[in-house]
Structure 1
Amino acid sequence: MIDKLSWMAIYPEAALLIMACVIALLDLSTTSPRRTATYVLTLLTLAVIAVLTGFNAAAGKTIYGFGGMVVSDPMGNWLKCFATLALMVTLVYGRPYAADRGMLRGGEMFTMSMLALLGMFVMMSGSNFLVLYLGLELLTLSSYALVALRRDNALASEAAMKYFVLGAMASGFLLYGLSMMYGATGSLDINEVFKAIASRQVNHQVLVFGLVFIVAGLAFKVGAAPFHMWVPDVYQGAPTAITLLIGAAPELAAFAIIIRLLVEGLLPLAIDWQQMLTLLAIASLLVGNLAAIAQTNLKRMLAYSTIAQMGFMLLGLVAGVVNGNTYNAQFAYSAAMFYIVTYVLTTLASFGIILLLAREGFESEEITDLAGLNQRSPLYAGVMAIAMFSLAGVPPLVGFYAKFAVLQALIASGQAMHIALAVFAVVMSLIGAFYYLRVVKVMYFDAPLTATTVAAPPDVRAVLTVNGALILILGILPGSLMTLCAQAIVATLAS
């Protein structure tokens, strides 16, 4: 008999799974070409689940269920809440685009995105290697299908194949690393693995060998260099609505699985994995920022930008353990969590504008397609400018505070290596500012290529406006979100 606590730990996942099945069945009787009923029911479901996970997170309780295989804690619940909201925004932005391209002939886009979200939830709740891996596979398999949703589009099919082959390799890396950890420690339970490693009774070489594969698999999933090769091709080839779907909410799940595995399970090996993450962060900042400068395709530029942003986020994870002490851990990991949440918020706004400008038969993917946007629509040009300035780290936007928090965590460690990393990150950010500001220059100073005004459905217009405003407001008043992230990380470290 499964106890009551176990059901309390997973009821958001259970509700999401049931509603995904219900919506898939109800969609069979929907005749609307824009899938209005399916769309509305999906948004209502996601809104309810966002409220449930938000309440769970605010309660601040940590509940273990199913023999310790799953955990419901503030960090996981806040990330679930943010991921659900991100998916809602993605569906609002992506529906007109998908309808124009025949992607709503069935309700697959809605049901598959809900199953992808379920995979994210399982990754955020997992306290066992098998559970984490199951969540990861559910997310990635749903993502492969979504990328290939435009069956008649050669670019999308090619992107799906690349994503599938490289994703399968990454999953293999991760699974091999986890199996070595199981072989060395004799347990799949994250807490038991932690105790086994902390006891120092386990062969260190075997642990480090397994750790290399785990870090490589995780680096594939977040798109960190040199495991980034799938990111630009998949971002460019996938339909833009799906690019946003795989580039926003899943980053929160990737952060969660990194914390679950490396911090909760393998913290005694921090000196080893922090060195690996340092190399990944340096490579990501170099490759992402330098390659983005050469791009003319906006989606490809944002893909390289993502690689650089993930490098910056990894810097926050590098400064947690200093000389065996964890006094800096809560500041470093909460800075990384704040960074990933604000990055997703900004990514939603930037891709929302690209989706808005796309018309039937016209993708609006090139940077030149934004030419003179300010003359055609000052509101949308303003939202895009806010997103670009935030990604560049210009004050007073939230991207500046996110970068500042990570740099602060690095410098607070007092290590010469970490201070050097902070200086390197600032230099890379200055280089990165070039390609972000180029987009703003094209919007405000180049002559428009077309005189057509930009029309948006009321829901898209309202959400885009709120999205842009949040980037500005959270930059001026970041305290509440930063406190929320700090409290969530403290609760996770304490459990």
Structure 2
Amino acid sequence: MNTTNLIPMYAEVFLLIAASAILLIDMFLDEGKRAITYMLTLATLVGAALFSFADYSAGTTIYAFSNMFLNDPMGNLLKLFSYLTMAMTLVYARQYSTDRGMLGGNLGGEFYVLALFSLLGQNVMISANNFLTVYLGLELMSLSLYALVALRRDNTRATEAAMKYFILGALASGFLLYGMSMLYGATGTLDISEVARKLGTGTVDKSILVFGLVFVVAGLAFKLGAVPFHMWVPDVYQGAPTGVTLLLGGAPKLATFAICVRLLVEGMLPRADDWQQMLMILAVLSLAIGNLTAIAQTNLKRMLAYSTIAQMGFVLLGLLAGVVGHDSSHAAAAYSAAMYYAITYVLTTVGSFGMIMVLARSGFEAEEIDDFKGLAKRSPAYAALMSVLMFSLAGVPPMMGFAAKFAVLQSVLATGAVWLTVFAVMFSLVGAFYYIRIVKVMWFDEAADNTPLTVSGDNGMVLALNGVAVVVLGMMPGPLLNACLSAMSKTLAT
């Protein structure tokens, strides 16, 4: 084998070797030394980030393994935020998982190892340039997440959530695989960039192509949690341990966004008229049903699940605004706005679930909205932090959520779809109601429990930095927006 093929994959190779080594090391550690596994996992994330940052700084696009693997600026930027999100998730989930026996006894460090393998799958998805590579990364990520949801084997809710997630996830994977097989049948190639070239010639059987495209979009919608393929999201988010819910709702969204770009934009841009219409229906339904259903929820995890469905509607709005007629000059701006939105959503939702785990303790989940009553009296600082996160999700300035919504709506408006822009704004106002309700509960309702909050040092520090980042990146969105635009422009130019 030509070892130069491995150079663009150094981050993935490092992740694979480190995850396997951590699994072996953890076997010989006593329960009281589980912190070693935790520190090794964080060190692995830092090491992988250094490799990806070096590639991102180079700003080049490199193909490997007969064009099956692609190392480009967009992928490297998404990988960097995936590492950051995963590190924050592990910090937030450490005490929570320890209290529930997920890091002790016979389970050992499987939580950390499975998290790393799911991240490896996400990296493969992000850099995929071949239908087989997309599916390989998707299954590696999904199988790790199925196991993580079921990690609390003595908990019936977690077991039920794992079964639902596995069955519906397998269905989604089947949809995607069947759609890609149809695309292969129509084009005669598994190479995504080669698919785009063949579509440009106009010699492809359009009936088979559109048939496969429908299944591909349906499979992607399952993974994003878009309506009407959203059935698994609220049940799995609520039933899974909160630390695992965060693993589901964080970095995997970035990987799913990446394969949406790889398959639809890089592979199927000549057929944008077809898939943009499908994305428009998914976006409209997700914004409407996600926001309206979230209002009725009393469980905060379930509310955030429906919120995720609505937020993915905005990501889809950015993806459908790239091509107007046959004019793709606006593509880089629209897709970079969607990418920026996905990143801001992930950073904000990570902090929100982190706050749920801060309030939880052994034997108490703190996942009902009423559990946040009077938080301002128990801890004004953490109530303020949660308020910042809720305002960001609602799109209230100057939080980063406002800048993200504004960027996406600006892209949609540039296409001339005024009605779609107005529709999105209206349902954003509907969504603001249930976010602001959390703020009202924290600051104006009487606390049922006046016990002072005790938060570990690393957890509190990362939460504080998370809140500061939401505000600072909202007040100064330019650097991250420009980074997304630059990365997307370089990727689309190849």
TM-score by length of 2: 0.99
Residue deviations 1:75-95 (CA, integer Å, cap 9, x gap): 001111100110000000001
* Aligned-partner Cα distance in 1 for 2:77–2:29: 34
> Residue in 1 aligned with 2:429?
430
**How far off is 1:302 after superposition?**
0.1
**How far off is 1:55 after superposition?**
2.1
What one-letter code is carried by the residue in structure 2 that aligns with 1:108?
E
> Residue in 2 aligned with 1:485?
484
> Residue in 1 aligned with 2:2?
2
**How far off is 1:198 after superposition?**
1.1
> Residue in 1 aligned with 2:298?
296
- The answer to whether the 8 Å contact 2:172/2:219 transfers is yes
Which of 95, 114, 118 pairs up with 2:116? 114
Alignment root-mean-square deviation, CA: 0.7
In the TM superposition, 1:385-400 aligns within 5 A as 385-400=387-402
> Residue in 1 aligned with 2:253?
251
In the TM superposition, 1:45-124 aligns within 5 A as 45-105=44-104, 106-124=108-126
What one-letter code is carried by the residue in structure 2 that aligns with 1:395?
P
- The answer to whether the 8 Å contact 2:59/2:73 transfers is yes
Residue deviations 1:229-257 (CA, integer Å, cap 9, x gap): 00000000000000001100100000000
What one-letter code is carried by the residue in structure 2 that aligns with 1:309?
Q
- The answer to whether the 8 Å contact 1:127/1:189 transfers is yes
475-484 or 34-43, which deviates more: 34-43
- The answer to whether the 8 Å contact 2:10/2:51 transfers is no
**How far off is 1:9 after superposition?**
1.2
> Residue in 2 aligned with 1:269?
271
* Aligned-partner Cα distance in 1 for 2:317–2:57: 28
> Residue in 2 aligned with 1:329?
331
Residue deviations 1:324-343 (CA, integer Å, cap 9, x gap): 11011011000000000000
* Aligned-partner Cα distance in 2 for 1:3–1:245: 33
What one-letter code is carried by the residue in structure 2 that aligns with 1:15?
F
What one-letter code is carried by the residue in structure 1 that aligns with 2:135?
Y
In the TM superposition, 1:24-423 aligns within 5 A as 24-33=23-32, 35-105=34-104, 106-413=108-415, 415=416, 418-423=417-422
**How far off is 1:265 after superposition?**
0.4
**How far off is 1:23 after superposition?**
0.1
* Aligned-partner Cα distance in 1 for 2:436–2:356: 16
**How far off is 1:29 after superposition?**
1.0
Report the 3-state secondary structure (helix = DSSP H, G, I; strand = E; otherwise coil) of the residue aligned with 1:158. helix
Give ranges in structure 1 of 5+ residues lacking alignment.
none
* Aligned-partner Cα distance in 1 for 2:309–2:8: 33
* Aligned-partner Cα distance in 2 for 1:322–1:390: 30
- The answer to whether the 8 Å contact 1:244/1:348 transfers is yes
Report the 3-state secondary structure (helix = DSSP H, G, I; strand = E; otherwise coil) of the residue aligned with 2:31. coil
> Residue in 2 aligned with 1:459?
458
**How far off is 1:197 after superposition?**
1.0
* Aligned-partner Cα distance in 2 for 1:146–1:60: 35
* Aligned-partner Cα distance in 1 for 2:177–2:386: 40
* Aligned-partner Cα distance in 1 for 2:483–2:435: 29
Residue deviations 1:156-207 (CA, integer Å, cap 9, x gap): 0000000000000000000000000001100000111111111110111111
* Aligned-partner Cα distance in 2 for 1:479–1:109: 36
Report the 3-state secondary structure (helix = DSSP H, G, I; strand = E; otherwise coil) of the residue aligned with 1:71. strand
- The answer to whether the 8 Å contact 1:184/1:202 transfers is yes
- The answer to whether the 8 Å contact 2:238/2:302 transfers is yes
Residue deviations 1:295-321 (CA, integer Å, cap 9, x gap): 000000000000000001100011100
Residue deviations 1:422-463 (CA, integer Å, cap 9, x gap): 100000000000000000000000011111011111000100
Equivalenced residue count is 491
* Aligned-partner Cα distance in 2 for 1:451–1:187: 63
**How far off is 1:34 after superposition?**
6.6
* Aligned-partner Cα distance in 1 for 2:369–2:424: 26
**How far off is 1:419 after superposition?**
1.5
* Aligned-partner Cα distance in 2 for 1:480–1:52: 21
* Aligned-partner Cα distance in 2 for 1:45–1:140: 21
* Aligned-partner Cα distance in 2 for 1:137–1:33: 33
Residue deviations 1:400-440 (CA, integer Å, cap 9, x gap): 00000000001112x2xx21111000000000000000000
Residue deviations 1:350-391 (CA, integer Å, cap 9, x gap): 001001100000000100000010111111111110010000
**How far off is 1:58 after superposition?**
1.9
Residue deviations 1:44-67 (CA, integer Å, cap 9, x gap): 111121122122112211100111
Report the 3-state secondary structure (helix = DSSP H, G, I; strand = E; otherwise coil) of the residue aligned with 1:323. coil
**How far off is 1:7 after superposition?**
1.1
* Aligned-partner Cα distance in 2 for 1:264–1:324: 15
* Aligned-partner Cα distance in 1 for 2:333–2:75: 18
* Aligned-partner Cα distance in 1 for 2:56–2:440: 41
**How far off is 1:3 after superposition?**
4.7
